[in-house]
Amino acid sequence: MKRNQIVTFWLVGPKTSVPGADCALSAESAAWVVSLDDPAGKCNVAASTTVEPRIVEVYGPGSAAANIAISGVAADGTAAKSVSFNGYGQPVRTGKPLTRIDITHDNSDTRRLRVEISASGSIRMCDRAFDVAATPATRAPATPETTMTQRQRSPAAASMPGASP
């Protein structure tokens, strides 16, 4: 609510450096810009509330992102480059907004992550290697009852201050 206006998160290229005057919108880049206007070709403009593209923040991952693959995806499964939020942090339906960002690495031993953006504005990160359907027993959310059961089973937890008898 600090700005009380629409602010957009944009995926921009080039992929492995801080975005500059040559930046372009890209659904496959680890670099990003948060601004009020389209930053294409203007990512080198200093943060400002008055000078276009009215940049809030810029991030370029550097050479560390050379082996990372990013995919910005809209709800319909097609490529997407941005998502806008209103003053309450809720996504604004403008064009095809990002609903998820898939993150993978060239090394197959690394984690495959996904950032999901819900229609209400909630953002969560998921490990795509975890197959929920294959292991339904681990899906149960923590409740006071399951937490208590875990404490009762653990001798170390039972000796902690505040632990229930």
pLDDT of 11 > 60? The answer is yes
pLDDT of 133 > 80? The answer is no
The pTM of this model reads: 0.75
pLDDT of 151 > 90? The answer is no
Query: H or E stretch including 150?
Result: helix 144-153
The mean-pLDDT minimum among 36-45, 58-67, 77-86, 137-146 falls in 137-146
Confidence of residue 85 (pLDDT cuts 50, 70, 90): very high
pLDDT of 26 > 60? The answer is yes
Contact in structure between 75 and 90 (CB atoms under 8 Å): no
Q: Report strand pairing: 24-25 vs 55-59.
A: unpaired
